[in-house]
Chain A
Amino acid sequence: MTQRRSRAAGARIRHGAAAEPDLFAAAGVEVARYEPALVTASEVAEPAPASRRTARDATGETATAAVSVCAITLLAREVLEGAFPPIWVRGEICDFKAHRNGHWYFCLRDDTSQIRCVVWARDRARIPAAPDEGMQIVARGQLTVYPARGEMQFVVNQLDGVGDGLWRKALEQTRERLLRDGLLDAGRKRALPKFPRRVAVVTSADGAAIRDIIAVARRRSPGVEIVLCPARVQGEGAPEEIVAALARLERWGGADIVIVGRGGGAREDLWAFNDERVARAVAACGVPTISAVGHETDFTLCDLVADLRAPTPSAAAEAAVPVRDQLMRELGTVRDALRTLLARRASSARRTLGGAARDLTFAAERAAERRRARIEGAAGQLHVLSPLAVLARGYSVARGLDGETLVSARSFRPGVPFELILRDGAIRATTDERVVRRS
């Protein structure tokens, strides 16, 4: 193996700068210490024929054949790149700089060594969040030489914190943004319709999720219609498809509830449901939403913004679709309540009527009684006030022939007859003389 690797390195060197293989014996030995198979058979080229070499070649073997800095640097790069396939390296982040051109620069280090690293802007899309200074990470990339500085450089295209650090950080940052926009407020949660006619499902057309939902919905309420709005739920483009499916459902406008989800999977497979665009689309959905991302322990952002979180698609179907027989029983209860209430109202009306009749009789009796009492009272008063009683005591009343009572001496005129009424009759008399008392 050592022999083969040395030959490989030598072959590449000749190819790059036409140097002698033995010049790079050291490089070959260095490479040989690396255990995994680094060089495939196809990379092993035959040594270049001797005829290709000329006296003018800069072989580096003598002072007059010295190689240029550029040449040796490029050679070193080729050797390094040829020796190491893309590889995972772990270490601590230091000197992290996000350049405005979109690239990230940092060092990976441990107690004794460090490597300069770069993440090109185009590779950042695959990295959930920028790492923090001092964070323990693992990075996958290509070891190479940066010719302008002659430095070894690790070109990183995948990066993660040890123990999910970066995923968690990215998730937390997105969650913060959603929280700031009020999308996680408990007050936003809408009640689900009690009996949806149409349940829309945004998930993969060939996943287990849609089959589970159909099975559960059929069992509970056969009348409920299930409308699949297909979207890929994992991998490249999944967030965009989920967002588009939700938008399609809204434009259509025929669903009473939307279930968004998929069956269980690895964390990476569920990542579309942590996508900020998906979370915002679910939050903005005009139809009540149930998030059903098959994961018992972790919550996705989609779970947090949906009106209801179900642990599995089956559970989502149970939440969305009530058991029809149960509803029928509930309606029966309402029907009984209606009947009971009406019967009660009728019997209370009868009671009121009976009471009113009694009241009427009583009131009538009372009224008659009151009238009788008043008549008796009046009669008594009449008796007391009756002039007959005064006459009985010996008084008399004078009255003109026209019936007018004569109470004043001035009312009498001499020679004019008048009547004098006494206890037992009346007499006719004439005034002889009138004496008016001066007062």
Chain B
Amino acid sequence: MSYESDLARLEAIVGELQRDDLELDQALTLFEEGVECLRTAQAALTEVEGKVRMLVERADGSYSLGELGG
């Protein structure tokens, strides 16, 4: 799951939780899922490995990411 989809799911969960006719056990399940989404979204943001690369296409059509001094 990407940050995008995590965030979208989180927003959907918040919307669900705002419904009045929600069963309590459903609410609990949603909450647990929401917490998990939050965790992965935060993990995506806290990745510290910011790289700058150069896209290199090899003769055989495959790709590699070369390091770029910058």
Contacts and interface: CB of A to CB of B under 8 A. Distances in A.
Contacts of A252: 55, 57, 63
A380 interface: no
B50 A223 contact: yes
Contact of B45 (A225, A229, A328): A328
A120 interface: no
Contact of B54 (A195, A228, A342): A228
Contacts of A197: 2-3, 44
A249 interface: yes
A200 to B, nearest CB: 7
A338 B34 contact: yes
A218 B50 contact: yes
Decide if the interface of chain A is mainly helix, strand, loop or mixed.
helix
A225 B55 contact: no
A104 B55 CA distance: 44
Interface in B17-41: 17-18, 22, 24, 27-28, 31, 34-35, 38, 41
Given A205-B54, A338-B38, A194 B49 contact: no
Interface size class of B (residues with CB under 8 A): 35 or more
Given A197-B44, A225-B51, A331-B45, A342 B28 contact: yes
Contacts of A229: 54-55
Contacts, number: 107
A327 interface: yes
B49 to A, nearest CB: 7
A193 B18 CA distance: 26
Contacts of A366: none
B7 A194 contact: yes
A341 interface: yes
B43 to A, nearest CB: 10
A436 B47 CA distance: 114
Given A194-B4, A197-B2, A248-B55, A324 B17 contact: no
A349 interface: yes
A226 B18 CA distance: 39
A210 B70 contact: yes
Contacts of A194: 3-4, 7
Most chain A beta-carbon neighbours within 10 Å: one of B3, B35, B55: B55
Most chain B beta-carbon neighbours within 10 Å: one of A195, A197, A217, A221: A195
B49 A223 contact: yes
A195 B38 CA distance: 14
B14 A341 contact: yes
Given A252-B63, A331-B45, A224 B7 contact: no
Contacts of B65: 227
Nearest to B65: A227
Contacts of B14: 334, 337-338, 341
Interface string B55-68: 10100010101001
Contact of A193 (B4, B10, B28, B52): B4
Contacts of A193: 2, 4
A205 B48 CA distance: 24
A228 B28 CA distance: 45
Contacts of B10: 334, 338
Interface in A172-227: 193-195, 197, 200, 205, 210-211, 214, 217-218, 221-227
Contacts of A429: none
A331 B9 CA distance: 12
B57 A230 contact: no
Nearest to B8: A194
Nearest to A322: B45
Contacts of B24: 345-346, 349
Given A218-B50, A334-B11, 16 more contacts: A195-B45, A221-B50, A226-B51, A227-B54, A227-B65, A228-B54, A229-B54, A230-B54, A251-B57, A331-B38, A334-B10, A341-B27, A342-B17, A342-B31, A345-B24, A346-B27
Interface of A: 193-195, 197, 200, 205, 210-211, 214, 217-218, 221-230, 248-249, 251-252, 254, 324, 327-328, 331, 334-335, 337-338, 341-342, 345-346, 349
Nearest 6 CB-CB pairs, A to B? A341-B17, A223-B47, A222-B50, A195-B3, A345-B27, A342-B31
17 contacts: A193-B2, A193-B4, A195-B2, A195-B45, A200-B55, A205-B54, A223-B45, A225-B50, A225-B51, A226-B53, A227-B54, A228-B68, A251-B57, A251-B61, A338-B31, A345-B24, A345-B27
